Every structure is written in C-alpha cells, then in structure tokens.
Structure 1
C-alpha cells in the first residue's frame, strides 16, 4: 500500500470523526444525558491516556497488576489514539529526541500544526523502534495494538445502544474530538506557551490551563526535567488530578510504588 494512500486513509479516518460529530449534532441534536456522557467520557478516557499510555506504559512511573494494566490500555485505546504499544513507542522516541530533527512532533522543527496533528499522518510515526520490548512481552497488549480502533468502535456502539443517536454523536464522537485535541495540545502548545522553571534541553513549558484540560499533563517542563515521576505537578499548587487518582488507587492497593520527585530535582539549577 503506497505512502500517499496510507496518509489519505489516516486523514480520512481522523477528520471523519470531526465531521461525524458536527453533522450528528446538527441532525440529531443533544440531550442532557448525551452532554453528561460527553463530559464523563472525556474525563475518564483522558485519565486512561494520562495514567495509562503516558505515566505507566511510556514511563513506568508506578506498578500495577497485569489485569489493571490491561484495563488501562483498553480504556486509553478507546480514545481512538491508536494502540498502546504504538503510543508508548512514539512517546519514548519523543523524549529521546525532544525538539531535535528526529522528534516526530516538535513545533520547533516542523511548525505548530505538524506538531499538533500532522505528524500522525506521516509514515515516520509508524516506523518500528526497538524501545518497547518491555511491553511486547505481553500478548494481550500486542493483541490490542494489532486492532487499535476496536475499543473505540465498541464504545461508540455502547453509547448508541444506551443513549440513541445523540449518545453516539455527542457522547462518543464529540468527546473523542475534544480528547484528540486536548491530548495534542501537549505536543504543540506545551512546547510553545507557558513558563520554564527548569533548563531542559528542549522547549517544554509549564502551563496551568493545559493542566486543567489534560488532568495534570500541562506541567510539561516539570515532566521533561524528571520524567520518571508519577507526579507531574511537582508542588501542591500545581493541579494534577491524574496523580490524585493514582494516590486513591494506591490506597486501594490497585497500584503501588508510585515514583515521587526527589527534592534535589525540585530546585531549579
């Protein structure tokens, strides 16, 4: 299959979700239930992306059981942001080459829109890198990664089944679009807009507004300074709901060994 055809198919699928959300809302309208569904699916799936794809599978910043790891992968993959191994592989690649020419989504190298959206349409994002062998040991993760859109399709069907067409278009499609762009702001805006507490080798920024949108991911300069921490809001005043949820889960012994930030890394150099 040619590179041009694959790029077209990826764009068609991505923009098709946007078009479905817009047309569906116009044709079928919305209900209180569908709006509530949209909000809940945004928050819950954003947690799947931030706690699962990012802090667990990409950075191993805490430990959990195999069944809960699978649940996190399934939840995150229902966001429509490709498979768990694909996501972790590209994110680890980003940290290795952050804002360098090899970085797949650096606004400094290829511009804002490429960093925000464009990179996912290019073949480079689908090249194999030998940086996820720890994840490839698990057959269930490899199975999920082989069928990246399956969890999202099943979730969309459930939304339609429970809440009719407004549940599908508002509850599922609209929340998926918002989730796309909420997540993608970290690749784009969090390397352009905000403050820099730490002198990292990239252009990562801390941005409180993006932290609100992404359940704590907006403390991006903190994260690039010390990526192994389960906590991205290094200080109490830095809002990090993903970390708070992980703390609650640790009380329930569902997760454990949450990596914290050593005091020596909190002080700017």
Structure 2
C-alpha cells in the first residue's frame, strides 16, 4: 500500500529546503496550495522573524551604553523616514519625484528595516487601500488585533508580491533585485554594526561599547521597535483616534501614533486623500516625514511634492 502524501501543515524535507531558500531568495518556487492554508501563519518561514525578537533578550548579557542606545535611536529614525517617506509616500503612492540614485538609496535604507523589499511593501499597501477594512484587507483590525498587527505579515499569502500592483516599478532591475534578495541589506547592516562595535572597543574604549552590544541594540532592538511602531498604523490607527473625514474604512487620526511614526498617525487624513506627500493636513498636525521631504526638496534631492488640495482642506473643518 502506498504511503500517504505529507500534510501541507507538515512540509516534506524538500518543502523545508525550499522554505529555507526563500529566507534568502523570495523568488524561489512556491507551490500553490489551499487558499485557507495560505492564510495561516507559516511558522517555518517566520523563524528568522521570531529569532530577531528573541535576540533582544541578549540586552541582559551585553549591557547598555549611551553609544549603543544612541545608534539604536538614530537607526530607528533614519529607517522610519525611509519607510514613511519612500516605501509609503513614494513607492506606494508616488506623491513626489526623485532621481534614480536617490530612489535606490532610500529603497536600500527601507530594506534595512527588515520589512521586506520596496515592491512587496508597495504592492501590499496598494492592495490595502483598494480593500481597506473589508474581508479582502489582510490586516484590518476587524479580523482581530494580533492578526492586523503581525499575523498577516507571517502568512504564506502575506509573503507573496503581486506584480500586477507594482508594474510601474518593475522596469527598475535594481529594485527587483532588492525585493528578491530582501535579506542582503539587513544582514550587511548587522555585520557592519558588529564590526563597528569591535572597532570602537579597540580604538575608542571610552565609548563603552563592543561588537555584540552594538549588534543587539543597533540591529535587533532598534529593528524590532521599528517594526512594531510601523504596524501600529494597521492595528491601532483603524481603532483609536478621531475621524475628521467620513471615509469608507475605519481609519482615524491619532497624535501619539503620528509622533511614533513620523506623521503616519494622521491616518484618516491619508485615507481620505492618499495622493498628498503631506499627511498632517493642519499646521499643528506634526508630520516629521513631511518636514524631512521638504528638506530634501530644498537640497534638490526630491521634487514636485504633491500638496493637499485646497478643496480637501476646506472640507477638513477645524
């Protein structure tokens, strides 16, 4: 009697090997399966993501220093701006223009956030706007907090990139490469931080840091904090805050989330008019990403920042 085929929930050795390959090459062949199973968390493929969280516990062994914490904060800020200004407002919504070198530079900084490549990010975000808070939205809070916060990100369906949604970016081979090998930049950053820490330990011991400490704080702690801050816009900005505009979704404006995410917390504004490079529509709505983009424009690095139309502001009221 022939043996039964392996269950999709318990992948065969070949399937495990393919999953391992996809940790480094997202284009590795993936078998299409039952849509219901594709919507489950792929724990095997999620292992590096889970390990990154566990690595944060190492702070109790490596200790802390002003240098390590300062670098962690700086990397949080730089990568948050790359995500909000470029992954979101540029690659997803095309709210301004820039040169190809600047486009690639900020795509690399965004990739260093370990939130996958710019094409994946833009494709999923465009899908979200097309189906916000409907059953087709993978991270609507209507499916539960944890599902919207992190669960959707770890499913087999969540790992895929829909090329139909980002055809405007497919003509750039460097972006396709960055999207396919989306772990290259994070691994390079981790190695660079370890090397910098080892160098500082030797050449500037007064700074009180070393390789393991800078790796844990600068990469693991900073990256995990960055991830969870970013996805609060999925899980919290559709639950708590003020609704200035009567949109078809549950989006809300939230000052605290705006501060944490450099302006993304003005989420109801954004869902009402996603075509603007500015999300804090009023002068008192702090939008750090907008200020950064204005600075880059003044330096000649970006151009044609799309403003909030006067008609949209007029509907905003107070």
Shared fold (TM-score, shorter chain, > 0.5): yes
Q: Which runs of 5+ in 2 are unaligned?
A: 1-5, 12-18, 20-41, 198-210
For CA contacts below 8 A with separation 6 or more, give which structure has more relative contact order.
1
The equivalences for 1:8-157 within 5 A come to 8-22=43-57, 24-108=58-142, 110-125=143-158, 126=160, 128-157=162-191
For each residue in 1:132-151, what CA deviation from the matched residue of structure 2 results, as whole angstroms up to 9, or x when unmatched?
Answer: 00011100000000101111
* Residue 168 of structure 1: aligned partner: 215
Provide the alpha-carbon RMSD of the alignment. Answer: 1.5
Q: Which runs of 5+ in 1 are unaligned?
A: none
Query: Does structure 1 conserve the Cα–Cα contact (< 8 Å) formed by 2:119 and 2:161?
Result: no
Residue 131 of structure 1 deviates from its aligned partner by 1.0
The equivalences for 1:233-244 within 5 A come to 233-244=280-291
Query: Does structure 1 conserve the Cα–Cα contact (< 8 Å) formed by 2:255 and 2:285?
Result: yes
TM-score (norm 2): 0.82
Aligned residues: 267
Query: Does structure 2 conserve the Cα–Cα contact (< 8 Å) formed by 1:159 and 1:171?
Result: yes
> For the residues of structure 1 that align with 2:70 and 2:299, how far apart are their CA atoms?
27
* Residue 206 of structure 2: aligned partner: none
> For the residues of structure 2 that align with 1:127 and 1:249, how far apart are their CA atoms?
29
For each residue in 1:156-186, what CA deviation from the matched residue of structure 2 results, as whole angstroms up to 9, or x when unmatched?
Answer: 1111111211100011110000001000100
For each residue in 1:82-139, what CA deviation from the matched residue of structure 2 results, as whole angstroms up to 9, or x when unmatched?
Answer: 111101000000000000111010001x111100000011122215251100011100
Residue 63 of structure 1 deviates from its aligned partner by 0.3
Residue 12 of structure 1 deviates from its aligned partner by 1.3
Runs of 4+ off more than 4 Å: 1-6
Instruction: Tell which structure's C-alpha radius of gyration is larger.
Output: 2
Query: Which secondary structure state, in structure 1, belongs to the residue aligned with residue 305 of structure 2?
Result: coil
Residue 3 of structure 1 deviates from its aligned partner by 6.7
Residue 9 of structure 1 deviates from its aligned partner by 2.5
- Provide closer, same or farther for how the CA distance between residues 127 and 71 of structure 1 changes in structure 2, counting only shifts above 3 A: closer
For each residue in 1:177-234, what CA deviation from the matched residue of structure 2 results, as whole angstroms up to 9, or x when unmatched?
Answer: 0001000100110000100000000000000000010011000000000001000000
TM-score (norm 1): 0.96
Query: Does structure 1 conserve the Cα–Cα contact (< 8 Å) formed by 2:237 and 2:254?
Result: yes
